Every structure is written in C-alpha cells, then in structure tokens.
C-alpha cells in the first residue's frame, strides 16, 4: 500500500514538474519592434523618426500629448538641413512617457505608414517640429525666439 502511495506522489511530482517546465518554455518574452521612417521636404530637408513598441499585432498606433503612452516605448525625431547636417533632435517619448504637450502620432504598423494628423519634434522658441495631416500637407515649422511660428518647408 505504501508503495502505490509513493508511486502516486512520484507521478504527481513528475507531472507537475513537466507542466511547470513546459509552461516556462512556452512563455515568449515581448519582442520589441523598432521602426524607422524618413521623409524629405520639397527643399531637401530630411526628417528621420525612430520609434519602438512591444505589441506586434496592432491595427493602429495613436499617441497624443504628455504622460503615459498607449503603446510606444520611445520616439526620437531628427531634422536635417539640405546639406545633411543635423539641425535638431528631440526625444518625444522616453520609456513610455510622452514629453510634449502638442505631440500627436498616428501610425499603421501593417502598411508602415503615418496616418492622419501628426505633430512631433520641438514646441518651444528656437525649436522645430513637423505638423499637419498625412496625405494632404505636412509643414516643417520653426518656432522663432518671439514665439511666432514660421513654415520652413513642406512635405507633400
């Protein structure tokens, strides 16, 4: 009788160990996806954006303003003069936290294209940003020291 009880305990222990082992082996860690976008303006300015997120099966990504983001973990945008020299660089999202009040980003992971309204880059005097509606007109804007916004170029 003791022998069958010991066999039962051993079998239960072995089964439990196998279940735990296979459960741990089958849990996949989140895979970070990093995307790079590059746009050129009519006068030769270049805007490069790099962003990352963890959810591979999203229909769209939509982020707005400051605070905790919905999906994006990081987003950096860099602006380059027609000469190729970097003229501005901004970290709009850092570790899942939006940094700018006016930030707006809409993206389709399936087509790897921006969608709808966007507004990213800087927002204060002396800074640059890209704003507009994809498919219509995007403007590269510089905020002058006075606070006045000046359209530097367009992406059509």
**What tokens appear for 70 in the block?**
């919905």
pLDDT at residue number 32: 78
Kindly report the number of other CB atoms within 10 A of residue 84's CB atom.
Answer: 8
pTM: 0.77
Asked if residue 6 has pLDDT above 70, the reply is no
Q: How far apart are CA 153 and CA 42, in angstroms?
A: 7
pLDDT at residue number 20: 56
User: Which residue has 């296979």 as its token pair?
Assistant: 22
pLDDT at residue number 19: 58
Asked if residue 8 has pLDDT above 60, the reply is no
């Amino acid at each position: 009788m003791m022998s069958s009880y010991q066999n039962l305990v051993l079998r239960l222990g072995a089964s439990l160990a196998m279940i735990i082992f296979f459960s741990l082996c089958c849990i996949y860690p989140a895979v970070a996806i990093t995307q790079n976008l590059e746009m050129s303006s009519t006068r030769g300015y270049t805007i490069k954006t790099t962003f990352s997120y963890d959810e591979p099966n999203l229909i769209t990504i939509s982020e707005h303003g400051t605070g905790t983001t919905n999906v994006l973990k990081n987003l950096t945008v860099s602006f380059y003069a027609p000469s190729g020299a970097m003229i501005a660089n901004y970290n709009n999202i850092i570790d899942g936290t939006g940094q700018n009040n006016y930030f707006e980003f809409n993206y389709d992971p399936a087509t790897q294209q921006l969608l709808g309204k966007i507004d990213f880059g800087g927002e204060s005097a002396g800074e640059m940003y890209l704003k507009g509606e994809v498919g219509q007109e995007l403007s590269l804007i510089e905020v002058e020291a006075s606070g006045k916004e000046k359209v530097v170029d367009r992406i059509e």
